[in-house]
Structure 1
Amino acid sequence: MLEIFIILIAGFGAGVVTGLVGASAVVIVTPFLVTFLGYDPYSAIGISLATDVVASSVSAYTYKSHGNINIKGGLLIAISAVTAAIIGSWFSGGMNSTTLGGMTGVIILLTGISFTRKPINQRVEEFKNKFDLNFFRERTRFSSILFGTLIGLMTGVFGAGGGVMILIVLTFVLDYKTHIAIGTSVLIMAFTAFFGSASHFIVEQHFPYLELILSGSAAFLGALTAAAFANGASEKKLSKAIGTAFIFLGLVVILN
């Protein structure tokens, strides 16, 4: 019963995080499974990616209903990311579990620090003002393939669906408006997470039915809840709260 409870909490938290900021389920599901239930990091990443599929799909549906998705412009990113995610998942299968778990913890920790320092919308505006991105904007196909490949590799190796990174690329390089960038990024993340998780399960030769049903169901509810909660809180408060939780989880995974 304790294991079921922890998986439900992890799935719900992943849905909330994805619904609020488009972050991957890896920041919640992986540390819970590895630290509290003793799962192998590779298995935990596969379950995290599968949870991502549910959370991202629910979030994408919400944005689609408001007309805030433009998948045509992000198609090259999606194709590149999916291909690279499959390659990355096979690569991570040969990594030492301790190394893989520690690297995942570092990713979570850095994500947390980033969120506590500044909300993503402010970071986007400041980055636009500081750096000249015309080189990438004038070569949108090249940029989409390049960044899509990098995001996909990260997805396959670390289990991070890359939602925030996709959001940044769509905003900086392709000059999407914020709401459309978020909606498109979570849709792309649903595809990268699906193929990444499938590759993990093929390599591992095991499909964790119970964990996926529990985590996926909770993620569905979490993503729906997040949409309502986000309307009543500022981005600054949300970023700090989520960032603090990420830092804690990242440290726990690294120390473990």
Structure 2
Amino acid sequence: MSTLLILLITFFAGMGAGLGTGFAGMSAAAVISPMLISFLGVEPYMAVGIALASDVLASAVSAYTYKKNNNLDIKNGSLMMVMVLIFTVIGSYVSKIVPSRTMGNFSTFMTLLLGIKFIIKPVMTTKQDMDAVSRKKKITGSLICGACVGFICGFVGAGGGMMMLLILTSVLGYELKTAVGTSVFIMTFTALTGSLSHFSFGGKPDPVIMILCILFTFIWARIAAVFANKAKPETLNRAVGIVLTVLGVVILVFNYIK
């Protein structure tokens, strides 16, 4: 396998994953995994592990950027994170008992549909609207929604970032920037837990591929997060919608190739 091919694939995989993470809190696994499997022949389980490892720093730098711009809800985000981690384990256990092949493309279709949704019907909730929601409702919603997101993520194996963004904006009434900031904050810890688990059970990944994926995803996530925090709500909705729609189509193509 040529060094140039590895460099090109990891660059474009990292770019897609980084833009998805920085703009919309999307999991890098949805982009990086199919590209590594399709073009570099990486074993699927290890490809997911590398993607999750790439997600850690990308989500962390995105969360830092959103926090610096006061677009992160740590209190409710922490509650949701605990529930997500617990129910991801439960969902993973249930997936071993109940066949889930019919839900294999869940994350991809959700990415595509959510992208179209942001273009057609943008989230225009303000921080004033968000602050008007009672503390009790936020806590209850965070616990219930965290359980749902975690179970789906564990059962299907993907879709956590997209589910969180949808729930935070549509169910809990979050303003878009705060929803993305809170989502990437949660994804930092879920990706760390997932990557460590994958490498513990699956062995060591290819160091060159992993380092390049982490580096490129980190760079593009930082660029996207900086732009997102400076953009107007209308512009951000359109950017998120376009990024998700394009990534959704590209991932479908990669899955078809695979």
User: What does the per-residue CA deviation read over 1:121-145, in whole Å, with 9 as the maximum and x for residues that have no partner?
Assistant: 62687xxxxxxxx9xx966555433
What does residue 196 of structure 1 align with? Answer: 194
Matches within 5 A, 1:33-182: 33-88=36-91, 104-119=104-119, 122=122, 140-156=138-154, 158-160=156-158, 162-182=160-180
- 1:31 matched to 2:29: no
CA distance in 2, matches of 1:3, 1:95: 37
**How far has the Cα of 1:148 moved from its partner?**
1.3
Three-state SS of the structure 2 residue aligned to 1:72 is helix
- Aligned mate of 1:235, from 220, 234, 237: 237
Three-state SS of the structure 2 residue aligned to 1:76 is helix
CA distance in 2, matches of 1:72, 1:237: 27
Provide the TM-score with structure 1 as the length reference. Answer: 0.78
Q: Is the 8 A contact 2:23 2:239 kept in 1?
A: no
User: What does the per-residue CA deviation read over 1:155-185, in whole Å, with 9 as the maximum and x for residues that have no partner?
Assistant: 3455536223223333344443332222111
The runs of 5 or more residues in structure 1 that have no matched partner are 126-133
What does residue 128 of structure 2 align with? Answer: none
User: What does the per-residue CA deviation read over 1:184-226, in whole Å, with 9 as the maximum and x for residues that have no partner?
Assistant: 1110111111112222222223344333211111111111222
Provide the TM-score with structure 2 as the length reference. Answer: 0.77
CA distance in 1, matches of 2:7, 2:98: 28
Instruction: State how many pairs are aligned.
Output: 244
Two-structure CA RMSD over aligned residues (Å): 3.3
CA distance in 2, matches of 1:208, 1:89: 25
Are residues 208 and 153 of structure 1, via their aligned partners in 2, closer, same or farther at CA, if it must alter by over 3 Å? farther
User: What does the per-residue CA deviation read over 1:96-152, in whole Å, with 9 as the maximum and x for residues that have no partner?
Assistant: 9xx87x855452134123313543862687xxxxxxxx9xx9665554333212322
Q: Is the 8 A contact 2:28 2:54 kept in 1?
A: yes
